[in-house]
């Protein structure tokens, strides 16, 4: 597994499996799943990553 962050584009990419892709599916606002040719999850992309991750961290920290 590899994790990359593009600060200019504000995109977090999590590579689970390398190889050719069959499809990319948006499963929620700014959250994309890349599907490999064998139908398994190959990667995840989080657009506007700073906003989403910081928001979730703040929500989880609240008592």
* Chain length of the chain: 63
Report the candidate in 44, 49, 40 with the shortest Cα–Cα distance to residue 7: 49
Work out the average pLDDT over 39-53: 93
β-bridge mates for residue 13, sequence order: 4, 45
* Domain residue limits at 16: 2-61
Q: State residue 58's pLDDT score.
A: 57
* Under 8 Å between Cβ of 12 and 53: yes
Tokens 């979730």 belong to residue: 56
Model pTM?
0.80
**Count of structural domains, the chain:** 1
Query: Secondary structure of the chain: what % helix, strand, coil (to 5)?
Result: 20, 50, 30
Task: State pLDDT tens for residues 1-36.
Answer: 999 999 999 999 999 999 999 999 999 999 999 999
β-bridge mates for residue 10, sequence order: none
């Amino acid at each position: 597994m590899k994790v990359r962050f593009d600060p200019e584009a504000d995109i977090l990419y999590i590579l689970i499996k390398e190889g050719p892709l069959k499809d990319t599916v948006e499963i929620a606002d700014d959250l994309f799943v890349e599907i490999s040719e064998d139908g398994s999850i190959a990667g995840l992309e989080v657009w506007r990553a700073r906003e989403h991750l910081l928001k979730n961290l703040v929500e989880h920290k609240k008592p």
